[in-house]
Amino acid sequence: MIVLSGEEQMLFLAITFLISAAINSQLVGVLFPPALRAMMIVLLLTGFTIFAYELYELREGSGLEGAQFELFALSTGILTLTLWGLFRRLEIQNRRRHAAERDLVMANIRRLEVNQRLRESREALRQREREALRLAEEAKAASRAKSEFLATMSHEIRTPMNGVLGVAELLRDTDLTREQADLLETIERSGQALLSIINDILDFSKIEAGKMQIARRPFSPAALVGDLERIMAPLARQKGLAFEARYEGPAVALLGDEGRIRQILVNLLGNAVKFTDAGKVAFRLRVTPLEGGRMRFFAEVEDSGEGISKDDLARIFAPFEQADSQLSRRHGGTGLGLAISRRLAEAMGGELTARSERGKGSVFMLSLVLEQAQEAPESAPARAKERTGPPDLAGRTILVAEDNRTNRMLLRRFLEPTGARIVEAADGRAATALWEEERPDLVIMDVSMPGMTGIEATREIRRKEKGEGRRAVPILALTANAFEEDRESCLSAGMNAFLAKPVKRRDLWQELRRMLDPPE
Ligand code: ADP
């Protein structure tokens, strides 16, 4: 066993203290830099104290020898400095680590903030998407509601108009005084004007909603010119204007929407007559072949009227625009005609343009590309057969399915001169029952009826006929649902022909003649 002297014990204790202080301070210091710094101060103080004590001992001559003291002082100094350096390094490292940790924490906080912002903006984006979808849904619903409203309005207005104009037509056949005949004409004219305004507004809304359907049926362009001349020439002559109509082209049938083309041309010709006080109105239609069996359809309406200024020319195709509102008010009109005509032309893949000069007249041009039709136009034989009187339908039975009492009365009156026997039903169910019972030669079918509609009744009749192997009865749709899609849904349900209300007696007779082919 080694026995240590008092100084050696002191020295040993001091060194042990230094080492344990170093170890402790490292442990604590790693976690807590101020403690580390305190330990360094203690370490320096301890080193210094030992050194001072040894120096004192040396001076007193009781302790170490000079050489021993030097060795001791040197080793204490080296140890103290080494430990101090170690701690210093530790402190620096710790500080750096803490700074790095702080940076890391800050970066983490920033990342969290960025994440939060991202989440928020994603949520906002989703919210906006939901909002956009909701708005789109609302817009769609509004447009649907508008279309439904228009269809209902159209139906609701046409039904009584059918009564007004039909009764006026019947009245004309009675003995009227001159004055009564004049008043009656006013009723008819006002009724027609109201109807054409309603048609314009409905058409325009349909076009705006992108719901305008364009038919593709064969028609004869030459016959179209003849028809338009028959309609417009008397109006021009009434105003003292010359009227010219010319067709230049082959005798072909074209595939297109004759009704809509006619609507555009009637509008252009009507305007030409309306805005020309002297001179003439000329109508030319040129049809020339293009490659691939297609044809260019080019119609020009020229007048020697008041003309349109350059500024106005840019406006008149916009809805509700009139070049000279005072003048137009004098002539009447809604300012929708050209807007509809241009949109119709565009819906048919063509264009409607105009050139004009104030005081020198105007030219409106409709240009379309149409296919040549392989079959002959449907209306050609009917045109050839056109008669004004009632067809002879004696011995035939006609079933009239119509819920409106006035319109049933009107149809009865319209049909009376044909000699046909008339049976009546007020809804689809009654109509199918009566069809079973009476086996009529023809059915005139309204579409909107309470309970079973005309479309459903037609399907039912066609189903039964098929089941029993019976001949199909001709069904004529006579409806206030006057749009192209209404016509299509009637035909696809199995009806054979379509007339829109208000119907003219002559048109009804004409259609019956075509469908039943009575002996003339
Ligand atoms: P409306 O005739 O019902 O007022 P349109 O859209 O058919 O509506 O015509 C718009 C306007 O364009 C007319 O009000 C008129 O000012 C002008 N316009 C159209 N055609 C002619 C024409 N042939 N000559 C002079 N002005 C015309």
Quick one: three-class SS letters along 206-222? HHHCCCCCCCCEEECHH
pLDDT of residue 141: 87
Taking the CA atoms of 128, 130, 134 and 140 in sequence, report the sign of the dihedral they define: positive
- Angle in degrees, CA 148, 191, 299, rounded to 5: 80
Decide: 344 in ligand 1 pocket, CB within 6 A: no
pLDDT of residue 8: 66
Decide: 272 in ligand 1 pocket, CB within 6 A: yes
Ligand 1 pocket mutation pick from 265, 271, 308, 357 by most atoms within 8 angstroms of CB: 271
pLDDT of residue 443: 96
pLDDT of residue 387: 65
Q: Strand locations in 309-391, DSSP E?
A: 351-357, 361-372
Nearest residue to 273 (alpha-carbon basis) of 361, 179, 350, 160: 361
For the chain, the maximum distance between any two Cα atoms, rounded to a whole number of angstroms, is 164
pLDDT of residue 66: 67
pTM of the model: 0.60
Q: What is the mean pLDDT of each run of 10 residues along the chain (520 residues)?
A: 62 70 60 68 76 75 66 74 77 85 93 94 94 92 80 81 88 90 87 81 76 86 93 92 95 91 94 93 96 92 92 83 59 76 93 92 96 73 61 94 92 94 95 95 94 95 93 93 85 94 90 84
Mapping DSSP to helix (H, G, I), strand (E, B) and coil, where does residue 148 land?
helix
Nearest residue to 401 (alpha-carbon basis) of 448, 462, 444, 461: 444
Mapping DSSP to helix (H, G, I), strand (E, B) and coil, where does residue 459 land?
helix
433-441: list long-range contacts, CB under 8 Å, 24+ apart. 434/399, 434/401, 435/399, 435/461, 435/473, 436/464, 438/397, 438/399, 439/397, 439/473, 440/396, 440/397, 440/398, 440/399, 440/473, 441/393, 441/396, 441/397, 441/398, 441/473, 441/474, 441/516
Taking the CA atoms of 306, 311, 314 and 320 in sequence, report the sign of the dihedral they define: negative
Decide: 474 in ligand 1 pocket, CB within 6 A: no
pLDDT of residue 194: 83
Q: How many residues does the chain have?
A: 520
pLDDT of residue 384: 43
User: CA 393, CA 71: separation in Å to the nearest integer?
Assistant: 147
Closest ligand 1 atom, residue 323 Cα: 16
Decide: 338 in ligand 1 pocket, CB within 6 A: yes
β-pairing, 421-425 vs 397-401, is parallel
pLDDT of residue 27: 58
Decide: 341 in ligand 1 pocket, CB within 6 A: no
pLDDT of residue 381: 45
pLDDT of residue 71: 74
Nearest residue to 265 (alpha-carbon basis) of 240, 243, 298, 296: 298
Taking the CA atoms of 328, 334, 339 and 343 in sequence, report the sign of the dihedral they define: negative
Decide: 335 in ligand 1 pocket, CB within 6 A: yes
